[in-house]
Amino acid sequence: MAGAGLLGLLRLQARAARRRVEARTSRQDPPSGDGVYGRGRGRVRPLVFTVLGDSSAVGLGVERAGETPGVLLAAALAELAERPVRLVRVAVSGAESCELDPQVDRALAERPDLALVMIGANDVTTRTRPAVSVAHLADAVRRLREAGAQVVVGTCPDLGTIRPIGQPLRLLARRWSRQLAAAQTIAVVEAGGRTVSLGSVLGPSFAQDRSLFSVDEFHPSAAGYASAAAVLLPALADSVGVWPARDERRLRGRGRVRPVARAAARAAGRPGTEVRATEVRGSVTGPLGTWARLLRRRPSDLPTPEEVTQAAEIPVG
First to last CA, the chain: 55
Structural domains of the chain ordered from first start: 29-311 (3.40.50.1110)
Residue 162: predicted pLDDT: 58
Q: Which amino acid is at 96?
A: E
Continuous segment of H or E residues that includes residue 275: strand 273-277
Q: Which amino acid is at 191?
A: A
The 10s digit of each residue's pLDDT in 209-245 is 455 554 445 567 777 888 889 889 999 999 999 988 6
Output the CA torsion 14→196→90→308 (10° steps).
Answer: 110
Pick from 120, 241, 125, 261: which is nearest to 190 by CA?
261
What mean pLDDT value characterizes the chain?
Answer: 79
Residue that wins the pLDDT comparison between 282 and 163: 282
- Residues designated as active site: 55, 216, 219
CB-count exposure of residue 123 (10 Å: 0-12, 13-18, 19+): buried
- Whether residue 317 has pLDDT greater than 50: no
Model confidence at 8, pLDDT cuts 50, 70, 90, reads very low
Phi then psi dihedrals of residue 66, to 5 deg: -65, -5
Structure letter (DSSP) for residue 68: S
pTM to 2 decimals?
0.83
More confident residue, 55 or 151: 151
Assess whether pLDDT exceeds 90 at residue 253.
no
